A and B are shown apart, each in its own frame.
Chain A
Amino acid sequence: NAGVTQTPKFRILKIGQSMTLQCTQDMNHNYMYWYRQDPGMGLKLIYYSVGAGITDKGEVPNGYNVSRSTTEDFPLRLELAAPSQTSVYFCASSYSGPENTEAFFGQGTRLTVV
């Protein structure tokens, strides 16, 4: 009964380094999302996917990339980390859109870029 699993939970990066935030779900959900949460700003959508092989940009995609090779996995890639990417990142999934089901969130990845 894992739901949405994100790894790592915490990470410190140096400016210019790269990393991949992992997200996997075991609910066979078609839709997956990556959000970032900054204090007082709510959650902003970075990228989303409506199914394997299909991804699209959200509100704040610059500096990030994603892929969706399987239904279960939706990794988020940071190529050249910048201090502005210090944030808490949440992955979420839903089955067919919110009119029938809720969006399930992972526990988050807290990233600090120094």
Chain B
Amino acid sequence: AQSVTQLGSHVSVSEGALVLLRCNYSSSVPPYLFWYVQYPNQGLQLLLKYTSAATLVKGINGFEAEFKKSETSFHLTKPSAHMSDAAEYFCAVSEMDSSYKLIFGSGTRLLVRP
């Protein structure tokens, strides 16, 4: 079965600093991977997805993620944090059966200090 591990339940950065949120996956087949963002009292919004095309995936709001098969990782980065990036971020992997259900990590809350 697929699984996702997000290292660090909370990450704090200064405004303008690099954002790095870590995600490792476990999958017996080439995975489909996703990053979602959740702002307070909101639903989840897709940031970006990897579906076996380019290993470096660009998403919305300046975020990108790199798929590294050798490290089973799909870390999310942004060169310069903005106050509006403060939110909870979820990494997810798609179950590779007919359900395509998403298996989520436990989430990382990003705090941005002025």
Contact = CB atoms under 8 A, between A and B. Distances in A.
A107 B43 contact: yes
A4 B9 CA distance: 28
B90 A42 contact: yes
B78 to A, nearest CB: 19
B51 A105 contact: no
Interface residues of A, number: 26
Interface residues of B, number: 24
Interface string A28-60: 000101010000111111001010000010100
Interface stretch (B11-19, B62-70, B79-87, B104-112): B104-112
Interface of B: 9, 32, 34, 36, 41-46, 49, 51, 90, 94, 98-107
22 contacts: A31-B99, A31-B100, A35-B104, A42-B104, A42-B106, A42-B107, A43-B102, A48-B99, A56-B99, A90-B43, A90-B44, A92-B44, A92-B102, A94-B100, A97-B94, A97-B100, A98-B51, A98-B94, A103-B46, A103-B102, A105-B43, A105-B44
